[in-house]
A and B are shown apart, each in its own frame.
Chain A
Amino acid sequence: MKERFPTGKPMRKADAILIAALLIVSIIGAVFALYAGSYTNEANVRVTANGALYGVYPIGGTREIVVKGIYENRIVIERDGGKMQVRMADATCPGKDCVRHAPVNLSGQCIVCLPNRLLVEIVGGENDFDAFTY
């Protein structure tokens, strides 16, 4: 009467291999991204809106960039302690995930606002992630 669904063992060899492979690939990727993202003063803040280049701004000085699309985003480049950082100060998009995102300060890091199709990334310096562009 109480026949169960045949689930088998919870963990098999193939599962362990899959999990290990995914973890190894992502740890290597994360280390690479972190290593490649060393901070340099020559870095620029590149803003892409609607799939097109909106502007490139040097990370050297304090600046505020307002991008108007379907929604409005306010990007701030500022000094935090000893380092320059970029953060999404304000946005009118529904989710506000971009505003909750931690400030970024490494080359290769980015903040994205998907509803507004806006990408704010740190590029340049010694380690340019432009190699990822397609």
Chain B
Amino acid sequence: MHAAANGGGGTRSASGARVRSGKEPQTSARVRSRVRSLTMCAVLAAVALALSYAESLIPLPAPVPGMKPGFANIAIVVALYLLGGRRAFAVNVLRIALAGLMFSGVFAMFYALAGGISAMLAMVALKRTGAFSVIGVSVGGSAAHITGQIVLASLIIRRGALFAGLPIFLISAVAGGVIVGLIAHLLLRALPRRITE
């Protein structure tokens, strides 16, 4: 709101009402793109939150309790490609904080945060290499996510026993990562590019 009001550069009449002039679209293009990108952030955060909530309501059969496909990350991967690493990270932190306060609880929030930070670092790094597609980036993020969570859990428990479960979690992470990556790929392909421009 402030950005739009101060940086708009549009001419104003004495009464404060915006005067429509030919120059205006050009000068406010940057602001419009910023507003668009902010709006996209908010939309993706809302989508991610909704997916988190849906996933928490429908418990899928999993070999280990707490194992889940992580559909919320569809929105995060889309955010990474549309808005870049920083904005995607902001969207994810927002999603985790809101989910933690609304339904998943504070404990789950900290583990989700550990996973989210690890995943984002891995995804940004993989994306930068340019060698991976959306699916590869998503799988790498998914694997980093569970590894980060197990590292945090082991630090809290102060025993290494949890690492014995890592292989099983990694296999499910790869499966989840492929599904999430594929959906994100299809979504990105379907969205018009000018959505954030």
Chain A interface residues (CB < 8 Å from chain B): 1-15, 18-19, 22-23, 25-30, 33, 37, 48, 51-52, 94-95, 97-98, 100-102, 108-110, 112, 114-115, 117-119, 121, 129, 132-134
Measured between beta carbons, the chain A residues less than 8 angstroms from B156 are: 51, 114, 117
Q: List 10 A-B contacts (CB under 8 A).
A: A2-B192, A15-B135, A18-B126, A22-B173, A25-B170, A29-B166, A33-B165, A102-B63, A112-B157, A132-B163
Measured between beta carbons, the chain A residues less than 8 angstroms from B65 are: 97-98, 100-101
Q: Is the CB of A22 within 8 A of B174?
A: yes
Query: B185 an interface residue at 8 Å Cβ cutoff?
Result: yes
CA distance A98 to B156 in the complex (A): 16
Q: Is the CB of A5 within 8 A of B193?
A: yes
Q: Is the CB of A7 within 8 A of B133?
A: yes
Contact with A along B37-66 (1 / 0, CB 8 A): 000000000000000000000000001111
Q: Which of B131, B134, B153 contacts A10 (CB 8 A)?
A: B134
Q: Which of B111, B167, B189 contacts A4 (CB 8 A)?
A: B189
Measured between beta carbons, the chain A residues less than 8 angstroms from B164 are: 33, 37, 108-110, 129, 132
Q: Is the CB of A7 within 8 A of B139?
A: no
Measured between beta carbons, the chain B residues less than 8 angstroms from A98 are: 65
Contact with A along B145-174 (1 / 0, CB 8 A): 000000001001111111111111011011
Query: B105 an interface residue at 8 Å Cβ cutoff?
Result: yes
